[in-house]
Amino acid sequence: MATDSIAINVELAGGLEILFNNERKLNVELPATTANGSPPNINYLVGHLCDHHMKDSRRELFELQGTVRPGILVLINDADWELEGEGEYELKPKDQILFVSTLHGG
């Protein structure tokens, strides 16, 4: 059933790794099609990470209203997700998805 899933690389930075047991890099397997028949998109990934990888109960520090909370940059293969369609971007095998919490300290 290997063809029924796609493997992507997720990276967490800016402190978000704390929500994921200090893991900065995750190999994530997603179903090739989701319940609604389409490939998984970024918003699906966000929910999947909360359900299967997050080790912290404060889900609201990562997800809000079905997508990432404000103050988190999402990079699809090192480019801002707004260049790629934001939450609707459909994931391809080997995609590199980086979630970075913005920092304000100095």
Two structure tokens written together for 16: 């978000």
Which residue bears the tokens 């520090």?
Answer: 61
Contact string 46-75 vs other proteins (x = CB under 8 A): --------------xx-------xxxxx-x
CB of 89 to other proteins, least distance (A): 13
The answer to whether the beta carbons of residues 96 and 79 sit under 8 Å apart is no
Tally of CB atoms within 10 A around 51? 10
- Number of alpha carbons in the 13 Å side-chain half-sphere of residue 104: 2
The answer to whether 38 contacts other proteins (rule: CB under 8 A) is: no
The answer to whether 7 contacts other proteins (rule: CB under 8 A) is: no
The answer to whether 104 contacts other proteins (rule: CB under 8 A) is: yes
Residues that bind other proteins (CB under 8 A): 13-15, 22, 24, 60-61, 69-73, 75, 78-80, 82-83, 98, 100-106
